[in-house]
Amino acid sequence: MTKKIPIIFDTDPGIDDAAALTVLLSNKQFDVRLITTVAGNVSVDKTTANALKLTHFFNRRDVPVAQGAKKPLVKAFKDASNIHGVNGMPGYQFEATNQKPLSLNAVEAIRKTLTESTDKITIVAVGAFTNLAKLIQQYPESLEKIDRVVVMGGSIAGGNMTSVAEFNVYTDPDAAKILFDSGLDITMIGLNVTQKALLTNESMNVLSHMNETGNMLTQLFSFYGDGNLANGKPMHDVNTLFFLLAPNKYVLNDYWIDVVTDGPAIGATVADIQSFDHQSTNIHVATDVDSEAFNAWYLLEIAKITDTAVNAGKVEK
Ligand code: BDR
Ligand code: CA
């Protein structure tokens, strides 16, 4: 059997975050050490509650959840409830759970998890990078335990907040700059690629008849304000996990990326594609994805999850 990938997953669920957490919590190839939450799609109280709904749904009491930053380092916080609904995961009534987050906050929990680990850990970050920036600033000695960082965020070709800024970086550009300048081994799967990894309407129809997990996801997707039924809906955050399991389905190029932290281009991730200003590179940047393979893989992942393995709730009428 292939070696499991030890992971800390930093997230702001969020509908596409939920689609990613579904794979994270059910695929045995991931050794999930910790989930941390951040303010982003909705407030951190809501993203934490949503993460706990999913650890309960997938019977993963063994996976601790730690609550993280309530707001970005500098910029004022503004959520994306216009895309993800007021509670961040609308449309499905999850079974109530008495599970609570850890008493440690996200930064302390990440540090503890890294420090106590005998092997190096992959960090996957699919929300604003506020928690990671704080870790880098407060506990630089813990970074040697990080194997690599895979992020959904940024874009080298157009944004979804402004013409140049993607939401996760736009939400906390100062944190993104600290992360991108940290010297860690970072792979950026940005909007330029995730907008190609659309879950098609056909795939969503298949999911809806598959099992309770497919039902749960399609209920959430029906409230997801990103993408459309004609072309499909972007599963931005899921790409980080597909990349870890099937890196050959992505094209990567190494670039120096600068993060813009003020002015009209705030939140832009500018790639020095001609090596004009930088002789070195700091980020492995995804530039393409096999979207057919993405759809086929996602359906297979969900098909593997039996109804007996989940704590199903009721569909909201
Ligand atoms: C990113 O922003 C959030 O709304 C999504 O969850 C994803 O992480 C896409 O720009
Ligand atoms: Ca997200």
Which residues, including other chains, have CB under 8 Å from residue 211's CB and lie 6 or more apart? 302, 303, 305, 306, 307
Task: Report the pLDDT averaged over residues 227-241.
Answer: 96
Cα distance from N-terminal residue to C-terminal residue, the chain: 43
Residue minimizing CA distance to atom 2 of ligand 1: 167
What pLDDT was estimated at residue 317?
33
9-20 pLDDT per residue, tens? 999 999 999 999
Is residue 316 situated within a structural domain?
no
The domain of 113 spans: 5-309
In DSSP terms, which residues pair with 7 in a beta bridge?
A: 32, 122
Task: Report the pLDDT averaged over residues 64-83.
Answer: 98
The amino acid at residue 118 is T
* Tokens read off for 91: 């449309």
Is residue 251 situated within a structural domain?
yes
The CB of 236 under 6 Å from ligand 1? The reply is yes
Indicate if the pLDDT at residue 262 is higher than 60: yes
Task: Report the pLDDT averaged over residues 233-258.
Answer: 98
If pLDDT is split at 50, 70 and 90, which confidence band does 2 have?
confident
Using DSSP, state whether 240 is helix, strand or coil: helix
| Span from the CA of 308 to the centroid of ligand 1 (angstroms) | 31
Q: Choose the catalytic residue: 56, 84, 236, 278.
A: 236
Is residue 127 situated within a structural domain?
yes
Is residue 63 situated within a structural domain?
yes
| Span from the CA of 220 to the centroid of ligand 2 (angstroms) | 14
Is residue 304 situated within a structural domain?
yes
CB 121 within 8 Å of CB 7: yes
Task: Report the pLDDT averaged over residues 204-209.
Answer: 96
Ligand 1 mutation pick, 10, 17, 37, 224, max ligand atoms within 8 A of CB:
17
What pLDDT was estimated at residue 287?
98
Task: Report the pLDDT averaged over residues 135-152.
Answer: 98
Indicate if the pLDDT at residue 314 is higher than 60: no
Is residue 314 situated within a structural domain?
no
If pLDDT is split at 50, 70 and 90, which confidence band does 123 have?
very high
209 is catalytic: no
If pLDDT is split at 50, 70 and 90, which confidence band does 1 have?
low
Is residue 273 situated within a structural domain?
yes
If pLDDT is split at 50, 70 and 90, which confidence band does 313 have?
low
The CB of 159 under 6 Å from ligand 1? The reply is no
Mean pLDDT estimate for the chain: 96
* Tokens read off for 288: 């393409």
DSSP 247: G
What pLDDT was estimated at residue 312?
82
Is residue 23 situated within a structural domain?
yes
Specify the number of domains making up the chain: 1
CATH number at residue 101: 3.90.245.10
Using DSSP, state whether 124 is helix, strand or coil: strand
* Tokens read off for 212: 């309770």
The CB of 79 under 6 Å from ligand 1? The reply is no
125 phi and psi angles, rounded to 5 deg: -125, 120
What pLDDT was estimated at residue 93?
94
Which atom of ligand 1 is least distant from the CA of 167? 10
Give the whole-number percent of the chain exceeding pLDDT 70.
98
What pLDDT was estimated at residue 252?
98
